[in-house]
Amino acid sequence: MTDITMTYREAMREALHEALATDDRVIILGEDVADYGGTYAVTKGLHEEFGRDRVRNTPLSESGFVGAGIGAALGGMRPIVEIMTVNFSLLALDQLVNTAATLLHMSGGQFNVPLVVRTTTGAGRQLAAQHSHSLEGWFAHVPGLKVVAPSTPQDARWMLPTALADPNPVIIFEHSGLYNERGDVDPTSGPVDLERAAVRRDGDDLTIIASAGMVPKALNAATALAESGVSAEVIDLRSLRPLDLPTLATSVGRTHRALVVDEGWRTGGLSAEVAAAITEACFWSLDAPVGRLATLEVPIPYAKHLETAAVPQIDDIVAAARTVAGRSDG
């Protein structure tokens, strides 16, 4: 069937619509998910079709409604919990880390938690230091959780059914800067393999590894690099936990150079994990140290020029890639 062009937001909404329409056990819980339509308008209109019981507004009680989602999952439901931003998810960190991630193991394999949590991540909207951070690396640290980050409308459309079919807690990080991005969605492709990274652009000189909002920037950077004769392969991690190391190693084994781009902070961040994993796997085929480009170590500021300066931009990626490729003077 022909692909359909839609926005990332529409793709996610269509996925939610399908989930509600095809499985009575699916409910959506979150702040303002019903009448308001969700802060980013992802759930807009769903309550009119499926009712306020299934598209259920919650009070401002992140820990309470994430915990209720866990309980409902234990009780046989398939809850999708929306947390407005990753910063607010910290109010539910206890439930996610101490409960959702531990119950299966702590109960000797008896109680799995088939919970899907959707939250937004990322900067770029001048929302300052309590709405703009990229903390997905923290969640990727935790055994028992699965963490994914769609960067395309196609993944926004098809990661959700896979996450719902997973017997484990899955956290989906949606980049707030991507909601209006348009792209092709294959309406028939069906649920995707959540645990595989995707090569978004082929190249020979280096591998740029990115996720979520950094993927479109990396692709733009690769275009710019091509104009100056540097052929960059771009890999979209898609799954932050587990990491698809084989796909990374195959690419870097061929290009011999890698740049990891991360919207999270550098220290102890996801980029550190990815860079270390590549170094361990590809050390003998590397022609240069693995490069890292991350958000500067500062709370995300409000002023546009400061926010822009804090977060990796296309030009930064180009410059860092040229350094890794040994072409920084070219």
Partner 1 sequence: MTDETMHAVWRGLLADMIRIRVFEERCAELYGESKIRGFLHLYIGEEAIASGVMRCLEPRDAVLATYREHGHALLRGVPAESIMAEMFGKSTGCSGGRGGSMHLFDKPRRFFGGNAIVGGHLPLAVGLGLADQMLGRSGAVTVCFFGEGAMAEGEFHEALNLAALWNVPVLFCCENNRYAMGTSLRSSESQIDLALKAASYAIPAWSVDGMDVLEVHRATTKALTAIRADGGPMFIEFQTYRFRAHSMFDPDLYRDPAEVEKWKQRDPIVTFTERLLADSVLEQTDVDALWDAARAETEAAVDSAEQAPIEPVETLLDHVTRPVTERSTAEANDRPAAAGTVQDIKTQDSEADDDDSGDGDDDDGDVWP
Which candidate, 278, 258, 263, 269, places its Cα nearest to that of 321? 258
For residue 34 the two structure tokens come to 């019903």
Is 291 among the residues that bind partner 1 (CB under 8 A)? Answer: no
DSSP string, 89-129: HGGGHIIIIIIITTHHHHTTTS-----EEEEEE---SS-GG
Please select the residue that binds partner 1; options are 4, 7, 23, 226, rule is CB under 8 A. 23
Count of CB atoms situated within 10 Å of the CB of 305: 8
Residue 88 or 224: the one with the smaller Cβ distance to partner 1 is 88
Residue 44 CB burial class (10 angstroms; 0-12, 13-18, ≥19): middle
Q: What minimum distance in Å lies between the beta carbon of 51 and partner 1?
A: 11
Is 25 among the residues that bind partner 1 (CB under 8 A)? Answer: yes
Please select the residue that binds partner 1; options are 162, 251, 271, 295, rule is CB under 8 A. 162
Please select the residue that binds partner 1; options are 82, 166, 205, 233, rule is CB under 8 A. 166
| CA distance between the termini of the chain | 44
Residue 21 or 296: the one with the smaller Cβ distance to partner 1 is 21
For residue 28 the two structure tokens come to 């959506």
199-228 positions binding partner 1, by CB under 8 A: none
Is 64 among the residues that bind partner 1 (CB under 8 A)? Answer: yes
Residue 73 or 272: the one with the smaller Cβ distance to partner 1 is 73
Residue 23 or 32: the one with the smaller Cβ distance to partner 1 is 23
Please select the residue that binds partner 1; options are 11, 77, 215, 300, rule is CB under 8 A. 77
Active site residues: 62, 131
Which candidate, 61, 55, 53, 70, places its Cα nearest to that of 16? 55
Q: 11-30: string of b/e by CB count within 10 Å (b at 16+)?
A: bbbbbbebbbeeeeebbbbb
> x/- site string to partner 1, residues 81 to 120, per CB under 8 A?
-------------xx--xx---xxxxxxxxxxxx------
Cβ atoms of 83 and 39 closer than 8 Å: no
Interface positions with partner 1 (CB under 8 A): 18, 21-25, 27, 53, 56, 58-59, 61, 63-77, 79, 94-95, 98-99, 103-114, 143-144, 146, 161-162, 164-168, 190-191
